[in-house]
Structure 1
Amino acid sequence: MAAASGKHKDTYRATAVFLVLTGLLYLIDKWVGFGHLRLPWVMQKDTMLLYAAIIFLWFKSDKSVGLILLGIWLIQNIGLVISLLGQMSTFLLPATLLVIGVLLYFLSSRG
């Protein structure tokens, strides 16, 4: 049992940090209101997903959960990503998706 709890220690830590951050942001939003500060994006659902992705990438030794959350955030915000990339996104985004897909396929077939 001790080995199992040690194995998941970084997952618990990342989850705890995310819950504390979410709680703090929620309280600050209720007291001050991010909308009044012209920061309504701070409490949006997709921004919370980005917070979770960053926290899991930072605190968890296995980066797969953080990368999956980050990928979901990127898919949800593809318009923002394309607008930030500008004209470059015409070729860069599809090429990146192809390279990542091929790499994941070969990594999954090795095992």
Structure 2
Amino acid sequence: MATATNNKDTYKATAVFLVVMGILYLLDKLIHFSSAGLPWVMQKDTMLLYASVIFLWFKRDKSVGIILAGIWLIQNIGLVISLLGQMSAYLLPAALLIIGILLYFLSTR
């Protein structure tokens, strides 16, 4: 029963992602995000962020959304560090340590 629910969640999240991408592509053809000063809307890494948010929102099992968000963070580490500014010197290593420790303890349970 849990597998059927999991598949249903996956199908729903995938369907929402495809609808959002279709709408964004259609809007891009109509208003051209690049010429409107919004070229980041249709970048490949931004689409990965859209997918991660949608999977986190619609799927009960958050692992796919977390993995996609992690991949996005790795791809955009420069952006994250520049947004954090001076705090990134301490915050990023601390976050990596905390996440690593949590994952280790969760995997040993």
- Deviation readout 1:49-104 (Å, 9 max, x if unpaired): 00000000000011111011001101111011101111111011011101101110
Matches within 5 A, 1:1-111: 4-110=3-109
Displacement after TM superposition at 1:7 (Å): 3.3
Q: Which runs of 5+ in 1 are unaligned?
A: none
The amino acid that maps onto 2:70 is: G
Distance 2:17 2:52 in 1: 9
Distance 1:92 1:27 in 2: 39
TM-score when normalising by structure 1: 0.92
- RMSD, aligned CA: 1.3
Q: Which runs of 5+ in 2 are unaligned?
A: none
Distance 1:5 1:107 in 2: 25
Query: For this pair of structures, how many residues does the alignment match?
Result: 109
- Deviation readout 1:29-66 (Å, 9 max, x if unpaired): 11221111111100000000000000000000111110
Evaluate the alpha carbon distance shift between residue 92 and residue 14 of structure 1 in structure 2; reply closer, same or farther with a 3 A threshold.
same
The amino acid that maps onto 2:98 is: V
Identity in percent = 73
Q: Segments of 4+ in structure 1 off by > 3 A?
A: 2-7
Equivalent residues of 2:6, 2:60 under 8 A apart = no
TM-score when normalising by structure 2: 0.94
